[in-house]
């Protein structure tokens, strides 16, 4: 169990308002969490390579392939403002 003073200190560091009636409950819960985490020290990880990320980092994107595109007239058909070649949009700075 984590003591009341430690729970209050952690709450202050996290800028969490702690209800005084719940300090003991949080201390008990934090103690259980810390006990679980310390149980991980018993695992044998000698053959487990260190890793930087949870994913392997493999590229999962497909290759770019040229495909059919819209005809220019169809693309400009629903544009609010356009000339014969481009869609006109308001200037943004």
> Is 70 a residue whose pLDDT tops 90?
no
What are the structural domains of the chain? 4-42 (1.10.20)
Whether 72 contacts 85, CB under 8 Å: yes
On the CB side of 32, how many CA atoms lie within 13 Å of its CA?
5
Q: Tell me the C-alpha distance between 82 and 71, whole Å.
A: 15
Mean model confidence pLDDT for the chain = 89
pLDDT in the model for residue 60: 76
**Share of residues in the chain with pLDDT > 90 (%):** 51
pLDDT in the model for residue 32: 95
pLDDT in the model for residue 53: 80
15: left (phi over 0), alpha (psi -120 to 50) or beta: left
The string of pLDDT tens digits covering residues 16-45 is 998 989 999 999 999 999 999 999 999 999
| Threshold 0.75, pTM exceeds | no
């Amino acid at each position: 169990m984590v003591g009341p003073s430690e729970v209050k200190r952690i709450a202050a560091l996290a800028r969490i308002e702690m209800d005084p009636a719940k300090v003991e409950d949080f201390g008990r819960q934090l103690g259980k969490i810390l006990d679980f985490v310390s149980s991980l020290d018993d695992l044998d990880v000698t053959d487990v390579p260190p890793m930087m990320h949870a994913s392997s980092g493999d590229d999962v994107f497909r290759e770019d392939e040229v495909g059919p595109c819209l005809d220019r007239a169809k693309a400009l058909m629903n544009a609010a403002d356009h000339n014969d070649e481009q869609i006109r949009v308001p200037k943004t700075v």
